Structure 1
Amino acid sequence: MRHFADQTAIAMPSLIYLAWGRPQRPRANLIQTLHTVEALDELGAQVRLCLPPLPRGFDLAGFLAGMGIRRPLDLRACPSLHRRWGGWPFALLHRGELRRADVVYTRVPQLSRVLARFGIAHWLEIHDTEPLAQAGRLAPLIALAAAGRIRGFVTVSAAGREALLAAGAAAGQVAVLPNGVDLTAFGSVPPLGVQDFAAPRALYVGRISRDRGLGLFERIAAAGTPVTLVGPRDHDPAPGSEGLRVEPAVAHARVPECYRPAQLALMPYQTDLAHATSISPIKLFEAMAAGRLVIASDLAPIRELVQDGVNGLLVAADDATAWNAAIARVRADPAWALAMAEQGRRSVEAFSWRARAQRLLALTTPQRVAGSVFGSSS
């Protein structure tokens, strides 16, 4: 880890990223945060990532390597950012530093409200518009943006942006920055051939739960397609589920290896998933970058990347018969399946983490990045 004070000579934006993700219990939000911060650092931005405290003896270097992070980061584990305190001690202790930063950025609505109370203008990335709206927390955030206390909102999907606009956010204060993928890591997965789709094997990597399609996985496996699930389990498969293999979670850096024996990547997000209306799944970008054919739930945010029959297949979220019919179409026309998988790989070439970091800097510090490397292509 490098220290923020050592970088004062760098004439690039100083950006403080506040997160609540815990390395001891990593989830997709921390994967996104770490890779975005690493890409910002690679571009030359002066960036510090602040996280809650770590357990004594925690192997942070090993954790970062397991997450696929290759650069040393200015990462601070801050006791005052412990979730139990709600962010108040951190904002109080560091308010001077936060006010001096060119950019303060977070994806935690609770921290956003605290920052606003201390008069610290910042950017808020929102992923879960529907839960916030249902809890009555979205309107107050939009009011803070109208008052200038939140500089702007970032969503990871156009569907999320539309939800914010429908709730009253000003169009000029909402930008879309989709998630990204490590193109180098996932591009190293060996390509497939036509013959591979004659008897395809399916894979899902991620949290295993009913609202992420566990019931569909059981039905697909029962119909004769071998399915492997890799990830932490919220729910167990039904007893006697034939053809369904469940493996424990692996370090994120090892996920590309999981795709080697598979041809199909299943993404059966269910409509009752809390963030189904504004999702931008990292695993979707990763599967496409690995050259695997994506079969996904036909949800508005998924359609922003997947075109049915062009670079993947879209199926009604809860219709097991339709999912098995889609796989049958793959078996019947392997050449078509391979063409879609290859088009999927091309479709995500513009979604590197570096490209996302470039867009983030261009959005939050346009006067600092004009004419610099941030204006170049990824």
Structure 2
Amino acid sequence: MNLVYLCGSIIPSRAANSVHVMKMCQALARNGHSVTLLAPMKRGEYESGVDDVFDFYDVERIFELRKLPCPRIKGRSIIYAVAAAWAVQKLRPDLVFGRYVHGCALTAWMGYPTIFECHQPIWEIGTIHHGFFELLRRGTAFQKFVVISEALKEIYMEEKDMSPSQIIVAHDAADDPGNVDKPAVLSGAREEALQVGYVGNLYSGKGMSVIAEVAPRMPDLDFHVLGGAEDDIAEWKQRVEAENVIFHGFVNQSEVPRYMEALDVCLLPNQRTVAVYGSGEADIGRYTSPLKMFEYMSHGKPIIASDLPVLREVLTDGKNAVLCNPEDSTEWIRALRQLNDDSSRRCRLGEQARRDFEAEYTWSARAKRILTAASSSSNFSSSPMAASDAIS
């Protein structure tokens, strides 16, 4: 199938949304489809230091990336949406899959079968986004709406009166790391200590507050923090009073598996309120599907995670993870002590997490599941109308 993926993410950047986009395009291509990714021509904060975008995200060069105009002027989102619509008209795909509602609304009205994915209530993003979403829903070729959790599906069904059959729930995913021959040598790691790791951003609600409370009370364990913006790292270094916390900073996607392999236990200490990258106000805590959860599972690592309803959609206490109250540091200390003392339990938890990952949470499985669900009630071979008829 000839497929266009339409996004609004800055590529390259460290934002999770850009990682998601690149991994999904790779997965769709691995499933045998011809994929063209359309992205805005925006200057990312890391663009000048990235020689190869595909290497930056550790994805194969098996799909095409095209950048489209998105000038820094008022109304640039509409300019980019129209540019994307014209690009789609030239490519004439069998399907448009997107995370950019402006462009997806246009392609659905142009007659191109369109699947739209969103990871938060769209009315919380802004009035314009909400308006385009309503336009999209009335588009003649709108196929399915994809969300990342059952919790988010429930929100849309309640707030937008959407039918369950319109919505596909597809949790996030991870690549299969395969066999990692050479785990990373973790700086600051003591040979006799349990190596505990956190991978991800450090902004509000991601859980560094838990590590800051737990680490000083467990000096016999080493805590490794992978990721985070430089300003956030500097702030947490001042706030954390513990020599056993090591900040490694940003790690390239291609190197993450080596670091993950060197860890004994992985932490997912999400709080009930979680900020969004680039926005301190939005809260995704009720419905998020953290990428790092699936990366932990892919490596077969024992996970200690916050006991939150949205995480329980994937994790089961005592089966593939240990779940703790996100607001009670004593529970996290107890869980870490138990895993430190019981290597066989660490092994059992990690092996079950790996089995669950293999069964449901690879990127390729996610892409296939979405397209299968959409095609069961749609026809991707419909003939799109001419763009001149649709948007002139």
TM-score by length of 1: 0.82
Q: Is contact 1:267–1:296 with CA below 8 Å preserved after alignment?
A: yes
CA contact (8 A) 2:38 2:66 kept: yes
Change (3 A) 1:332 1:136: farther
Unaligned runs of 5+ residues in structure 1 are 1-11, 371-378
2:205 is matched with which residue?
211
SS of residue matched to 1:210: coil
Percent of residue pairs identical: 25
Which residue in 1 is equivalent to 2:117?
125
Q: Tell me which residue corresponds to 2:168.
A: 175
Partner of 1:249: 250
Tell me if the contact between 2:102 and 2:132 (Cα under 8 Å) persists in the aligned partners: no
Question: Residue deviations 1:320-369, cap 9 Å, x none?
Answer: 11111111221343322221111111110022211122123223444679
Q: 1:96 to 1:259 in 2, by over 3 A?
A: closer
Q: Aligned equivalents of 2:73 and 2:149: distance in 1?
A: 27
Q: How does 1:228-307 map to 2 (within 5 A)?
A: 228-233=224-229, 235=232, 236-237=235-236, 238=239, 240-273=241-274, 274-307=283-316
**Could you say which residue in structure 2 is the equivalent of 1:361?**
371
| Whole-angstrom CA distance in 1 between matches of 2:110 and 2:369 | 28
Indicate the SS of the match to 1:166: helix
**Counterpart Cα distance in 1 of 2:126 and 2:43:** 31
2:108/2:139 contact within 8 Å kept: no
Answer whether contact 1:362 1:369 (CA < 8 A) is retained. no
Identify which of 310, 329, 332 aligns with 1:323: 332
Shift of the alpha carbon at 1:116?
6.3
The separation in 2 between residues aligned to 1:201 and 1:272, in whole angstroms, is: 27
Give, in whole Å, the separation in 2 of the partners of 1:201 and 1:69.
Answer: 28
Q: Secondary structure at the match of 1:292?
A: coil
Distance in 1 of aligned mates of 2:326 and 2:100 = 29
C-alpha RMSD of matched pairs (Å): 3.2
Unaligned stretches of 5+ residues in structure 2: 184-189, 275-282, 382-392
Q: Which moved more, 1:47-56 or 1:320-329?
A: 47-56
1:187–1:275 distance in 2 versus 1, CA, 3 Å? farther
Q: Does 1:102 align with 2:98?
A: no
Cα offsets for 1:254-279 (capped at 9, x unmatched): 11111233111101111111211111
Q: Distance in 2 between matches of 1:160 and 1:215?
A: 26
Q: Which moved more, 1:60-69 or 1:88-97?
A: 88-97
8 Å contact kept, 2:196–2:267: yes
Secondary structure, aligned partner of 1:324:
helix
State the Cα distance separating 1:122 from its structure 2 match.
2.5
Separation in structure 2 between the aligned mates of residue 188 and residue 133 of structure 1, nearest angstrom:
41
For 2:74 and 2:371, locate their aligned partners in 1 and report how far apart those are by CA, in whole Å.
Answer: 31
CA 43–53 in structure 1, closer or farther in 2 if over 3 Å, else same: same
Find the counterpart in structure 1 of residue 59 from structure 2.
Answer: 69
Q: Mean Cα displacement is larger for which, 89-98 or 243-252?
A: 89-98
Partner of 1:375: none
Q: How many residues are treated as equivalent by the alignment?
A: 352
| 3-state SS of paired residue (1:348) | helix
